[in-house]
Amino acid sequence: MILFFTIIACAHVNAQVFGGHPPSQKWKQVKSKEAKLIFPAGHDSVAMRVANVIHAVSVTSSATIGNKLRPISVVMQHQTTIPNGYVGLGPWRSEFYLTPSSNSFELGSLTWYDQLASHEFRHVEQYSNFNVGLSKVFGILLGEQGRALANSAAVPNWFFEGDAVYNETFASNQGRGRMPYFFNGYRSLWDANKNYSWLKLRNGSMRDYVPNHYQLGYMEVAYGREKYGAEFWKKVSHDAAAYKGLFYPFQKAIKKQSGISYSQFRNDA
C-alpha cells in the first residue's frame, strides 16, 4: 500500500496537447461577414490581411459560382511543417497551415497566406452554393457529412481544385495558372509524346508519372470559361450538385450547357 501511494505521488502527468499547440497558446479572432478568423497572438497583421483578401475575392468572384455564402470559421495554424489548407463539411470549418513552401517556383510572387485565402475561400463559395436539390436532401437526412458525400459524388475533385486554382489566378496578379512551374508535368508528357487516356490522366497511375487533378482541373476549367463564358461553370456545377441528371450528373450538365458530349468537351479542353 505504501509503495502504491509512493508511485502515485511521484508520477509525472502531462496536460493534453492538441494540434501541436501548447496549453499556454493564446488565441485571438477577427470577424467579418464572410469569415471568423481564429489566429495565434502575434499574427494580427496576417489575420487582417487574410480577412481583407477574402472580402475582396468574395466581391469579384461570387458571380461565377453563385451568390449564396455561408460564413465560416478559419483556424490559422502556425506550427505546421506542410504548406496546405482545406475547407470541409461536418463540421463546417477551414484551416490554413501558414508555413509556406520552400520552393519559390511553386509559390511565385504571392505571399502564401494571400494564395491560401484566394484559393480556399473559393471552396467556401463552392460548398455554399452546392447545397441544392438532392445534395440538400442528403444534408437534411444525414447531416453535413451526408451532403459532403453527395457533393463529392456529383462534382469531381478536378473541378473543385481546378476552379479554385482558376480563382486564385483570376483574383490576383499571379496564381498558379500564370506560373510555368505549374504546367511542367503536362509539358513533359507532351514533349515525350505520352498520349495517355482520359481515365489515366483523371485517376493517376502507380506505374507512370501523371500530373495531379489540380493541373488537369485548371486546364478544363480555364477552357470552359474561355469557350462558354464566365457563368458556364456556375450553371454546370449547380445542375450537377442538384442531381438534375440522376446518373452522371456532372457529365450531363456539361452536355446540357455546352451542347456537346462530355467526352468531346474534355478532349477539346
**How many domains, the chain?**
1
State yes or no: cis peptide before 100, omega within 30 of 0: no
CATH of the domain at 73: 1.10.390
pLDDT score at 109:
87
Cell numbers describing residue 192: 515525350
- State the average pLDDT for the chain: 91
CA–CA gap between residue 204 and residue 268 (Å, rounded): 20
Q: Are residues 189 and 208 in contact, defined by beta-carbon separation less than 8 angstroms?
A: no
CA distance readout (Å), 235 to 121, 244, 257 = 19, 11, 7
**Confidence check: pLDDT of 176 > 60:** yes
Across 3-15, average pLDDT: 58
Q: Nearest CA to 54 among 84, 75, 33? A: 33
Highest averaged pLDDT of the listed ranges 18-32, 95-109, 213-227: 213-227
Give pLDDT tens digits for 151-173: 999 999 999 999 999 999 998 88
Q: Count the alpha carbons within 13 Å of 2 in the hemisphere toward its beta carbon.
A: 0
DSSP 6-68: HHHHH---PPP-BTTB-TT--EEEEE-SSEEEEEETT-HHHHHHHHHHHHHHHHHHGGGT-S-
Quick check: helix, strand or coil at residue 70?
coil
Quick check: helix, strand or coil at residue 96?
strand
> Which residues does residue 87 pair with via DSSP β-bridges, in sequence order?
94
Which helix (H) or strand (E) covers residue 252, if one does?
Answer: helix 249-258
Give pLDDT tens digits for 255-268: 999 999 999 999 99
Q: Model-level pTM?
A: 0.90
Tell me, rounded to whole angstroms, the distance of Cα 247 from its chain centroid.
25
**Confidence check: pLDDT of 16 > 70:** no
pLDDT score at 152:
96
Domain containing residue 189: 2-268
